[in-house]
Structure formats: structure tokens, C-alpha cells
Amino acid sequence: MVSSDSRYATPVVSRRTTKTGVPPVREYLAQAFRYRTFAYYWSRADIKARNFETVLGRIWLTLNPFLFGLIYFVFVAILSGGGLGSSDRLAFIVGNLYAWGFFSATVITTVSSVQSGAGGILGQSAVPRIVLPVASTITAAHLFVRSLGAYIPLHLIASRG
């Protein structure tokens, strides 16, 4: 005997198909917008999975671009003969490395999420496929903002503002 109580009925998700197989954009984006909380929590889980919630993970996230910028600065200063005294050049190099890291992480993680379909977990679900690249972009933006802690003092010291 099946209960006729509507509280226990599973929702039916259906997508209208078109001649090309592509759903109508307005409906698709509206449905994807309903999964914004899912994208946020998927992003938080991704950050935890990459160990950026630990003390050493946070230190590495903050100092990695700064240390690479310092290495590039030393090599550029040696090759150009300009000397190591220019904090403005160091701030410029480090700032560009932070920006490059953000855009690189965004592109790499979004492409990999589209290719893998999040490891096949969401392959048979009703979640719109655009939610995974959005979650990856949220992750990259979150990590970028957290990593600026090492760049902001350098930016202020170099008077780049």
C-alpha cells in the first residue's frame, strides 16, 4: 500500500528538451540559481579537502606566491642590474603573481570540474552542470582573498596605492 501523503513524495525534476538537446537558457539559469547554496557548500568542502583549513595550509596559501615573487624579484634584479633596493618592483611582481594564481586556479579547477563531472558523483543527479564551475570559481576567489594577507603590507610599504 502506497501512502498518498504528499509530504513524503519525492520531487520530480524534469528538463524540457529541445531540437538541439540544449535546455532553454532562462530556465536553465533559473534552476542553476536555486543551487547556489549547494555551490557554496561544495566550495567549502573543496577547501577542506585541500587542507587549506589547517594552520600549515593557510601559511602555505599565503606565503607561496610571496616566496615565488621574491625569487623572481632576485633573478630580475640580478639580470637587469637594477639592484635589490626597489620595493616597488617587488610589489609589482608579487601582485601579478597573486593575480595570475587566481586566474590560473579559476581556469584549471573549472575545466577539471567540467571534464570529470566532480568525480562522477553528480553524473546522475539533477544538479545543473554549470553549478560545478561556479563552485570552483567561488573556491578560487575565496582562496585568493585569503592569500592577500601577505601582499597587502607589501603593497602599502611600496606605496603602490
The overall pTM is greater than 0.95: no
Q: How far apart are CA 81 and CA 142, in angstroms?
A: 38
Mean pLDDT by 10 residues, the chain (161 residues): 54 55 81 90 85 80 80 78 70 84 87 67 72 88 82 78 56
Query: Do the Cβ atoms of 102 and 144 come closer than 8 Å?
Result: yes
pLDDT at 40: 92
Q: How far apart are CA 40 and CA 131, in angstroms?
A: 10
Q: How far apart are CA 49 and CA 56, in angstroms?
A: 14
93 CB-near residues (< 8 Å, 6+ apart): 69, 72, 73, 76
Residue with cell 602555505: 60
